[in-house]
Structure 1
Amino acid sequence: MGEIVNLNRARKSRAKADRKAEAAANRVAHGRTKAEKQAASLDQARAARLLDGKKRETPRDD
């Protein structure tokens, strides 16, 4: 057969793991200094500008 599992304990342990994962994501998102946030924002804007600069224009058929 298989291993007997307490469903309440399994549900609670799954919920606990979900909460831990969410907390880790929040620590990453909110645990940065203002300078780190600004640097990330500048990097993201730079990447967007580079990508937009590499787009090819398609001729319109009017």
Structure 2
Amino acid sequence: MSEIINLNQARKARAKAEDRAKAAANRAAYGRTKEQKTALQIEQTRANRLLDGQKLNPRKSDAETQQD
């Protein structure tokens, strides 16, 4: 025979587990210090500048042939 459970308690336990999971995700996303946010922004800016510096500029002859 199976165990008798209180459906109200089971529903509340499931809701609490979902709330805990959501809180953990929010802590990971928003729970950073100002120093960590600034460091990440500096790193992203540096990476973007490095990537922009690696772009190739088309030569005039290549640009002319693409337009024709």
Give the alignment's TM-score, normalised by structure 2: 0.54
Coordinate RMSD, CA, aligned: 2.5
For 1:45 and 1:27, the matched residues in 2 are separated by 24
Q: Percent identity?
A: 49
In 2, Cα distance between equivalents of 1:54 and 1:25: 35
Structure 1 partner of 2:11 = none
**Which runs of 5 or more residues in structure 1 are unaligned?**
1-12
Between stretches 51-60 and 36-45, larger displacement belongs to 51-60
- Structure with the higher fraction of residues in helix conformation: 2
> Number of residues paired by the alignment?
48
- TM-score, normalised to structure 1, is 0.58
State the secondary structure of the residue aligned to 1:44: helix
Range moving further from structure 2, 52-61 or 40-49: 52-61
| Corresponding residue number in structure 1 for 2:41 | 41
- Runs of 4+ displaced beyond 4 Å: none
Which has the greater radius of gyration? 2
2:30 matched residue in structure 1: 30
